[in-house]
Structure 1
Amino acid sequence: MNEEAQVPKAKGWDVILRNTESAGIHIDDLPGAKDLPLPEFSHLGRKCATVFTDIYVRKLTELTPRLQLRADAPPPLTKDYCVPTT
């Protein structure tokens, strides 16, 4: 939230990718990861880090033909894996 307030995605991240002709994944590109809890406001716990990695790798496979999920890959992990429901 603080980073977005300092340098909005459109004026920072998007400009860097455009000027370097690079592909990139911003947290806004990972809707399932945006709501993962950050216990001390900067790092994920172990289980939620696993969920984030799963979401990130699946996004990477959409962006490049060099990576593919196995046909027998398990279903995507969700926030429910790392956040107990009450």
Structure 2
Amino acid sequence: MATATLTSKGQITIPIQIRTSLGITVGDRIEFIAEESGKVTIMAATHSVKDLKGLVHRPDRPVSIEDMDRAIGINASAAR
């Protein structure tokens, strides 16, 4: 288990194995998420929306507004 010591200024050094696991480097941001149980989760918060580019592939053919409206109508009526 990795440990760190809190300085008088409230700072810690995140151990190398944790930094590697999170994929963080100098200048990256991290989030601390405190749970009611007293447990704290650390997450890398350096990724932007731009990192998602290319995750969803373009359709083979363009979809018209009419096609979108039709699909919404079909799904909405099926949900009732």
When normalised by structure 1's length, the TM-score is: 0.20
Indicate the structure (1 or 2) with the bigger Cα radius of gyration: 2
* Larger helix fraction of residues: 1
Larger RCO, structures 1/2 (Cα 8 Å, 6+ apart): 1
* Larger strand fraction of residues: 2
When normalised by structure 2's length, the TM-score is: 0.21
